[in-house]
Structure 1
Amino acid sequence: MSVGTIVALIITGLLAGMLSGLVGVGGGIIMVPMMVFVLGFSQHQAQGTSLAVLVVPVTALAVMNYYKEGYINWKYAAVIALFFVVGSYFGSKIAVNIDQKMLKKVFSIILVAIGTKMFFDK
């Protein structure tokens, strides 16, 4: 692993972590594009690696801060987490069987749709 790659990985992790703690995003919006455009990963590799990062409790400290301030609804989080596991299983099964070019298009459409909705929502 070159120094440039290590620096790119560090920047990717810091940006994703900061945005995760700040606004609850990071994996799809920061890590995946950085891995594709900066590190030269395929879309499949970037998505899989982003998910692997999230396997460990990377958000534990951010969750602790939100918990201390009373901003976590544990019941809702538990239900979402349970179905997140189910959804991610089936989503990944679909993704690994889609051509990379199509997967990039789907990824881009979702980012634009969400970004547009959030930008224009009042």
Structure 2
Amino acid sequence: MAARGLRVMRANMRIRRGAGNGWGGAGAAGALAWRRSRRIVSLRSAVMGMLLVFLLIGLAAGVLSGLFGIGGGILIVPALMLVARMQPLQATGTSLGALLLPVGALGAYEYYRNGNVNVAASLTIAVGLLVGAYFGAHWAQTLSPVQMKRAFAVFLVAVAIRMWLSAK
């Protein structure tokens, strides 16, 4: 009789605990709903964190693009690979997708407003970019992630050496 009373008391405690957690369920059902909600909150926090990382990468690339005319390959791609842990092809594609409108529209407009855009040169370069980006993207699909990382590192070092040597 005492053992049965103890079991009933334990069952009542579990029901109260489940019902009192704010999820309206009793016992295990309420606890399961609570654990699911914690996972959703955790996932939401992770997504918001990544959105913040992407926003900060974009802001940094925008400032550097406005200052030096760089952004995509020099900043966004390495940041996506190192901070967001993207594979090189995904980082490159994401960078190209991000650069379609904002860099061309707002950055160029500010320089144009101040008389610092050679329109003929810009349009000619744009044609080259259009064709070159297509073939570059096609070629990139044939490289492994390791080959992409190494090729990009060689490119950055070559640009850095050239800039260093030409500075006066």
TM > 0.5:
yes
Query: Partners of 2:95 and 2:68 in 1: how far apart?
Result: 17
Per-residue deviation at 1:120?
2.0
Amino acid at match of 1:91: G
* TM-score (normalised: structure 2): 0.69
Q: In the alignment, what sits opposite 1:92? A: 137
Q: In the alignment, what sits opposite 1:17? A: 62
CA-based RMSD of the aligned residues comes to 1.2
Q: In the alignment, what sits opposite 1:8? A: 53
Say whether residues 1:82 and 2:124 are aligned partners.
Answer: no
**Runs of at least 5 residues in structure 2 that lack an aligned partner in the other structure:** 1-45
Specify which of 86, 111, 127 is matched with residue 41 of structure 1: 86
* TM-score (normalised: structure 1): 0.94
Deviates more, 1:22-31 or 1:49-58: 49-58
CA contact (8 A) 2:61 2:70 kept: yes
Would you identify which runs of 4 or more consecutive aligned residues in structure 1 move more than 4 Å? none
How many residues matched? 122
**Runs of at least 5 residues in structure 1 that lack an aligned partner in the other structure:** none
Say whether residues 1:31 and 2:76 are aligned partners.
Answer: yes
CA contact (8 A) 1:16 1:27 kept: yes
Structure label with greater radius of gyration: 2
